[in-house]
Amino acid sequence: MIKQSKVTMKNLADELEISVSVVSRILSGKGAAYRISEETQKRVQETAAKRGFTVNQLARGLRLQRTHTIGLLMPDISNSIFSMIARSAEKAFRRNGYSTILCDTANDGEVEKQALGLLHDRSVDGILMAPVGGESQYIKAIFNHGFPIVLVDRFLDDLKIPYVTSNNYQGAYDGVLHLIDHGHRHIGFLQGIPDSKPSSERLRGYRQALQDHQIPFDARMVQGGKFEDHDGYISAQILLNYAERPTALFSCSSVAALGAMKACMEMNLRVPEDVSLIGFDEYPYASLLATPLTTIAQQTGALGEGASQMLLDWLDSGNPPESASVVLDTELHVRASVARVSNSEK
Amino acid sequence: MIKQSKVTMKNLADELEISVSVVSRILSGKGAAYRISEETQKRVQETAAKRGFTVNQLARGLRLQRTHTIGLLMPDISNSIFSMIARSAEKAFRRNGYSTILCDTANDGEVEKQALGLLHDRSVDGILMAPVGGESQYIKAIFNHGFPIVLVDRFLDDLKIPYVTSNNYQGAYDGVLHLIDHGHRHIGFLQGIPDSKPSSERLRGYRQALQDHQIPFDARMVQGGKFEDHDGYISAQILLNYAERPTALFSCSSVAALGAMKACMEMNLRVPEDVSLIGFDEYPYASLLATPLTTIAQQTGALGEGASQMLLDWLDSGNPPESASVVLDTELHVRASVARVSNSEK
DNA sequence: GTATTTTGCGCAAACGTTTGTTTGTTGGGT
DNA sequence: ACCCAACAAACAAACGTTTGCGCAAAATAC
């Protein structure tokens, strides 16, 4: 390998004995606009290609105050809902000439804060994120400075930050209703991060469904605090050890439902004969499970595409979208994890 | 919100009526070394904090020719093996003061090429990647220019690019042996991307195991070409429709095994009674499946940590690691997807 | 043949840092 | 009174681009 000096515009200019400005203009496609001769254009383009020139985005971004990069913050890419959102968003960004910096905040507020700083310092043009939890001063500060940011899945309701999310209230209501229709009266609720919108809205749907059917709400029935499988595992154990054991579990995430399923297995409780189970979010392999899991499916593709389009529009127009929120319907996918319970018991 | 001008070092300097150089030195912790008075240091630090100054990494990277950023290229983050590798690598990088740009190449060579360019143009300090396929001129070119790059899981063997991977040959051998020990003689092989090392090495293990037991190799038994669930689904359908139906399927990825499982279900073939199944890679919820899946587990954490450490060492020392490769053992996790087959048949 | 336009390109500043070098100001020693 | 350290901070160049403006030469117009 020949140790050749880094190939920059200055470098090319020196070699061709012209100035860097014409190199820049040619290589950014403005050759014609600045009436640079065909011959020079050819020469520059050819040697640029030969030397393998690529523009230094650091310098470019610095000069242009624009990086054509978007920050994408996901709380947990190992959760399929987020990996699917990430994928569709990234694709949309790429299609529009933006590249993406993806950060996994691991559902950790501190990491989220760091990542936000990282992205800001790297001068991304905008941010698409699913915040970890409820209160986030940094996010609000960013928004208040007019920085383009849109939220997906999880959102903050005390500020007009644009978002696209699912109808978590209705989805949960539908799911709990499904359980009630099957005779369940003792329904455990495995919540996600409590001060996140999806979790609180789902809880609201749960409570409303109970209330509409004259079932008293029992705070002890609400357990957990993360959207993770192990959290579901632990919470299910707590709930299923109650003297008056719930006959059904409603989980705020499908992975937590899987954790609960594991807990059931270990406690020798059959699903759904002994305990029925519903999970929010679709799970790709739900139908392959020992007990195919009944789920409340979100439109993951539409979530990612809607949110990214909102952000792209913002970046294009320079103004935040007026219709600041989109709420997508959910769909109950009935499989086999919910059984009818005889009304005889209690 | 007050429209305040962007807060830069120059800005702070003007406000405090000092020069930018002292601001820079103070804010990068070199105040003492350049004997800047305690008083000035305090003043600068306080107003910097008050104004919420953060350094512009574009400018910093441009000046320093170092960005403290590492590019992480994964072929498919929705596949748990890669999301786990990504997570452990990202954590290791963060711990060492590096931030990470994660790109999902979607198993697409073209996207991979673009992403590589993107990372290069953004002046990342190094790259950790699992290449999509076999031939990749860009990767070699990058390596040959002395750029720090290490491969994980999938590697290229015609160049001395450092990598850490699993012992795919032995893992597959063990798995196939397990099948043979259970009396299987017709074993379908669901391969991954054919010219990727993991797939080719696993195929080699498969063939060796067959040969060691006097089972003739039949090319028709090798199907598929991606590490994805739908690919496993299709390939399984092909194999299971053979007149002489295989009694077992060995899959190069657990998700493809799940696809195969789905195919079995739809064809009314029971696993493992009618067809046994083994999947490479651990699958987090393998034990919750209708038929708990027997797998060949890789040490995902060690893969990510080993590879990232290799890269970090390279960046620290400035030299590529001398021991250019690490190969980790796999472990057969026997669950319930392999059944004994009566030797009566054929 | 002079005045004007067109053509093709170069100059230099700016983006926000970092850092080697220089400058000015004290205070102490003689 | 004079020299020399030590101290505190400013200057200026550099990193690789982009772009408004300017300028010489060639082409056209009168």
Q: How confident is the model at residue B185 (pLDDT cuts 50, 70, 90)?
A: very high
Mean pLDDT of A163-175: 96
- Residue pLDDT, tens place only, B145-165: 889 999 999 888 777 899 999
Q: Closest chain A residue to B5 measured between Cα atoms?
A: A145
Cβ–Cβ gap B56/A62 under 8 Å: yes
In CATH terms, the fold of domain B68-166+300-329 is Rossmann fold (3.40.50)
pLDDT, one tens digit per residue, over B275-289 is 999 999 999 999 999
pLDDT at B142: 87
DSSP B159: S
DSSP assignment letter at B280: E
DSSP conformation class of B289: B
Query: What would the pLDDT profile of A4-45 be if each residue is shown by its tens digit?
Result: 568 999 999 999 999 999 999 999 999 889 989 999 999 999
Q: Is the pLDDT of residue A167 over 90?
A: yes
- Measured between its terminal Cα atoms, the distance across chain A in Å is 81
Find the residue in B nearest to A8 (Cα).
Answer: B121
Q: What are phi and psi for residue B12, nearest 5 degrees?
A: -60, -45
Distance (Å) from CA A341 to C1' C16? 68
- Which has the minimum average pLDDT: A171-185, A186-200, B104-118? B104-118
Average pLDDT, chain A: 92
From first CA to last CA, the distance across chain B in angstroms is 81
Say yes or no for a CB contact (<8 Å) between A290 and B288: yes
Residue B89 and residue B143 in contact, taking contact as beta carbons nearer than 8 Å? no
The pLDDT value given to residue B134: 67
Residue A341's pLDDT is 86
Average model confidence (pLDDT) across chain B: 91
> Distance between CA B253 and CA B261 in Å, rounded?
12
**What pLDDT, on the 0 to 100 scale, is given for residue B345?**
46
CA B63 to C1' D14, in angstroms, rounded, equals: 7
Distance of CA A114 to CAs A128, A161, B303, Å?
15, 20, 25
Architecture of domain A68-166+300-328: 3-Layer(aba) Sandwich (3.40)
Q: State how far the Cα of A236 lies from the Cα of B288, in Å rounded to an integer.
A: 15
Percent of chain B with pLDDT over 70: 97
Cβ-7 Å neighbors of strand D: A 6, 8-10, 20-21, 24-25, 27-28, 30, 34, 53, 55-56, 58-60, 62-64; B 17-22, 34-37, 39-40, 59, 62-63, 65
Q: Write out pLDDT tens, residues B304-336.
A: 999 999 999 999 998 888 877 899 999 999 999
Q: Closest-CA residue in chain B for A111?
A: B94
- The string of pLDDT tens digits covering residues A218-252 is 999 999 999 999 999 999 999 999 999 999 999 99
Paired residues of A272 in beta bridges: none
Mean pLDDT of A136-155: 88
The bases of strand D with some atom under 7 A from any protein CB are: 7-12, 14-21
Average pLDDT on B71-99 reads: 92
Residue A163 has pLDDT above 60, yes or no: yes
Give the C-alpha separation, A201 to B247, whole Å: 49
Residue A342, pLDDT > 80, answer no
Q: Using CA coordinates, name the residue in chain A closest to B99.
A: A118
> How confident is the model over B217-255, as pLDDT tens digits?
999 999 999 999 999 999 999 999 999 999 999 999 999
Q: Do A87 and B106 touch (CB under 8 A)?
A: yes
Q: Is the pLDDT of residue A309 over 90?
A: yes
Spatial contact of A168 and A329, defined as CB atoms under 8 Å apart: no
For every residue of A11-27, DSSP letters joined together read HHHHHHTS-HHHHHHHH
The A187-190 sheet, strands edge to edge: A222-223, A187-190, A248-251, A276-280, A294-297, A331-333
Q: Of A301, A328, A326, A300, which is closest to residue A313 (Cα–Cα)? A: A326
Distance of alpha carbon B44 from the chain centroid: 43
Q: What count of CB pairs under 8 Å joins A to B?
A: 113
Domain map (residue ranges) of chain B? 9-55, 68-166+300-329, 168-298
Distance A20 CA to C4 C1' (A): 30
Nucleotide closest to residue A36 (CA–C1'): C8
Using the CA of A22, give the nucleotide whose C1' is nearest: C9
Band of residue A343 on the pLDDT scale cut at 50, 70, 90: low
Cβ contacts (< 8 Å) between A110 and chain B: which residues?
none
Q: Yes or no: say if A148 and A170 are a contact pair by the CB < 8 Å rule.
A: no
Does A121 sit within 8 Å of B56, measured CB to CB? yes
Task: Name the residue facing B78 among A56, A80, A290 (closest C-beta).
Answer: A80
What span, in angstroms and rounded, lies between the C-alpha atoms of A202 and A154? Answer: 12
* Nearest-by-Cβ selection for B54 from A69, A80, A120: A120
Beta-carbon separation of B57 and A122 below 8 A: yes
Asked if domains A68-166+300-328 and A168-298 share a fold, the reply is yes
Q: Which nucleotide is closest to B63, CA to C1'?
A: D15
- Interval A324-335 mean pLDDT: 93
Residue A290 CB in 7 A reach of strand C: no
**Under 8 Å between Cβ of A313 and A284:** no
Q: CA B25 → C1' D11, Å?
A: 15
Across the interface, do A121 and B57 touch by the CB < 8 Å criterion? Answer: yes
Quick check: B172 pLDDT over 60? yes
Residue B138 has pLDDT above 90, yes or no: no
Angle between helices A9-16 and A38-51 (to 10 degrees): 120
B271 → chain A, closest CA residue:
A288
Closest amino acid to nucleotide C19 (CA–C1'): B21
Show Cβ contacts of residue B18 under 8 Å, excluding neighbours closer than 6 positions.
B40, B44
Q: What is the pLDDT of residues A46-104, one digit of tens each?
A: 999 999 999 999 999 999 999 999 999 999 998 999 999 999 999 999 999 898 988 89
With a cut of 60, say whether residue B3 has pLDDT above it.
no
Q: What is the mean pLDDT of residues A187-191?
A: 96
* DSSP 8-state class, residue B125: S
* Alpha helices, H only, B122-275: 137-144, 168-181, 197-212, 229-240, 254-266
Domain A168-298 has CATH 3.40.50.2300: yes
Nucleotides of C under 7 A from a protein CB: 7-12, 14-20
Q: Are A242 and A255 in contact (CB under 8 A)?
A: no
A176 Cα to chain B: minimum distance (Å) = 23
Residues 14-73 of A with CB under 7 A from strand C: 17-22, 34-37, 39-40, 59, 62-63, 65
Cβ contact, residue pair B54, A122, below 8 Å: no
